[in-house]
Amino acid sequence: MKNLETEIQKIIERNKRVEIDKKWEVSFVRRVLIVVITFGGAFLFLHIIEAENPILGACVPAGAYLLSTFSFYPLRKVWEKFQK
């Protein structure tokens, strides 16, 4: 009986971790962090190679990522319809 209780407790703990992971995947904070890191990396690269207007150039990949996160939800709904 003790073994069964231990297994149930492990499942409950795992479910809590999975729920936190799900929340993180769709969180606004995660999206902002990825945009900032993408912008920073692109800006640094463009600055090092002395590209013209690295700030504007760095906006392209960061903006593309942000735009893609907004478009995934409607696309997911279409995908879900075809899965049923």
Instruction: Residue 32: name the closest of 75, 69, 76, 72 by CA.
Output: 69
pTM for this structure? 0.74
So what's the pLDDT on residue 12?
94
Instruction: State yes or no: pLDDT of 22 exceeds 80.
Output: yes
Q: Angle at which helices 54-83 and 28-48 pack, to 10 degrees?
A: 140
Q: In angstroms, rounded to a whole number, what is the distance separating the alpha carbons of residues 28 and 31?
A: 5
Candidates 45, 48, 73, 71; CA nearest to 60 is 45
